[in-house]
């Protein structure tokens, strides 16, 4: 098998020939058909997440087919199409796992961060954390649902039921969430980098009622806002844009420092919360819903060997929607 491996934090990924992996007990081996590129992969490469270790193969939006089963795997079968997300394993016994908060597990494993991920031709996964995908949608179209979609969905649920929803940072996650939110009957307000008219037009093409720079105020007060961009400066801006009792959800795993802001922005029962990881339940719920909503993902594909170019283009905002690697 081959993989694009991170051998040193901050260094380019390296095309590497590896011995074929064998799934252990409870694991599956998946031949990768497509793997989305997520902003979290940039954080992994840049060493911005705690407890980073190398060498590691990034990639946690994996779509592929099972080609080997480890001992004891009975619910999945050879040839089945599955998706492998960020949450790769949880301990099952810590206080969080015991209280159905596996997304907060004390001893988790994360695909493409603490266990090898999908920037490769094959990956071994814990069978309990792989989602059967069915056959609807191409591998490339489905890949961004595995993180951008799932984390977006979890963020949307946590944002509450308010009708007027602001999305700060209109990339892979927001372009999916915008479709889900409108299907639910909500109105979307899209915030991009100031002056990024191309992305604002993209947001309008997906049905956003209003699109503008993150330095602008929306035309109506928002019931809730989700911040997908990794920019702490957006937090006070989003708090300013939500109504009394409104909620601001920080969806990223990493964010630059949040500047100090006057208490009046939080006053009147505005809430500021973060979303961490996902629960398997989120995946099951969202992946069942996605075909009903008819989500269309906008993707730019790169050959696996060009993973570094895909990461650079993501960093520079050179494409709309999501990048997907294909072996």
Strand partners, 213: 192
Q: Which string of DSSP letters, residue by residue, matches 53-76?
A: -SSB-----EEEEEEEE-TT--S-
- Among 33, 38, 167, 211, which residue interacts with Zn ion (rule: CB under 5 A)? 38
278: contact with Zn ion by CB under 5 A: no
The residue range among 77-85, 147-155, 268-276, 296-304 that interacts with Zn ion, by the rule CB under 5 A, is 147-155
Q: Which two tokens stand for residue 102?
A: 């596996």
**What residues contact residue 255 under an 8 Å CB cut-off, 6+ apart?**
227, 230, 231, 232
CA-nearest of 190, 192, 163, 161 to 178 is 190
Does position 105 bind Zn ion by CB under 5 A? yes
The reply to whether 157 sits near Zn ion by the rule CB under 5 A is no
**174 part of the interface to Zn ion, by CB under 5 A:** no
When asked if residue 94 is in the footprint of Zn ion (CB under 5 A), the reply is yes
DSSP state of 120: B
Could you tell me where the beta strands, DSSP code E, fall in the chain? 2-5, 14-17, 27-37, 62-69, 81-84, 87-89, 109-110, 122-126, 131-132, 164-168, 187-192, 210-213, 222-227, 242-250, 271-274, 299-303, 322-326
Residue closer to Zn ion by CB (options 105, 235) is 105
28 lies in the binding site for Zn ion (CB under 5 A): no
CB 147 to Zn ion: min, Å: 3
Query: Considering the rule CB under 5 A, would residue 235 count as an interface residue with Zn ion?
Result: no
Binder of Zn ion out of 9, 76, 91, 158 (CB under 5 A): 91
Nearer to Zn ion, 119 or 210 (CB): 119
Least separation in angstroms between CB 199 and Zn ion: 19
Stretch of residues binding Zn ion (CB under 5 A), selected from 33-41, 169-177, 225-233, 312-320: 33-41
Size of the site for Zn ion (CB under 5 A): 8
155 part of the interface to Zn ion, by CB under 5 A: no
Distance between CA atoms of residues 287 and 279, nearest Å: 13
Using CB under 5 A, list all residues that contact Zn ion. Answer: 38, 40, 90-91, 94, 97, 105, 147
């Amino acid at each position: 098998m081959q993989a694009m491996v991170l051998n040193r934090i901050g260094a380019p990924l390296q095309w590497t020939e590896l011995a074929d992996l064998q799934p252990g007990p409870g694991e599956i081996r998946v031949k990768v058909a497509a793997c989305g590129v997520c902003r979290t992969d940039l954080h992994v490469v840049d060493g911005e997440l705690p407890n980073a270790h190398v060498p590691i193969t990034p990639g946690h939006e994996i779509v592929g087919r099972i080609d080997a089963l480890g001992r004891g795997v009975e619910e999945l079968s050879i040839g089945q199409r599955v998706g492998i997300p960020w949450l790769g394993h949880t301990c099952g016994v810590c206080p969080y796992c015991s209280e159905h908060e596996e997304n907060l597990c004390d001893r988790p494993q994360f695909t493409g961060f603490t266990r090898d991920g999908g920037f490769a031709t094959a990956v071994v996964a814990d069978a309990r954390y792989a989602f059967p995908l069915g056959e609807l949608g191409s591998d490339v179209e489905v890949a961004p649902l595995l993180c951008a979609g799932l984390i977006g969905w979890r963020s949307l649920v946590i944002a509450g039921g308010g009708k007027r929803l602001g999305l700060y940072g209109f990339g892979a996650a927001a372009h999916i969430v915008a479709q889900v939110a409108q299907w639910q009957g909500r109105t979307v307000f899209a915030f991009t980098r100031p002056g990024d008219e191309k992305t604002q037009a993209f947001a309008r093409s997906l049905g956003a009622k209003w699109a503008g720079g993150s330095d602008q105020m929306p035309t109506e007060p928002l019931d809730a806002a989700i911040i997908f961009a990794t920019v702490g400066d957006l937090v006070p801006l989003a708090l300013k844009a939500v109504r009394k009792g409104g909620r601001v959800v920080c969806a990223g795993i990493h964010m630059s420092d949040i500047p100090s802001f006057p208490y009046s922005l939080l006053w009147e029962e505005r809430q500021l919360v973060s979303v961490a990881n996902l629960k398997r339940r989120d995946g099951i719920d969202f992946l069942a819903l996605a075909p009903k909503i008819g989500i269309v993902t906008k993707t730019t594909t790169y050959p696996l060997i060009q993973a570094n170019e895909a990461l650079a283009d993501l960093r520079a905002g050179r494409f709309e929607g999501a990048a997907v690697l294909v072996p």
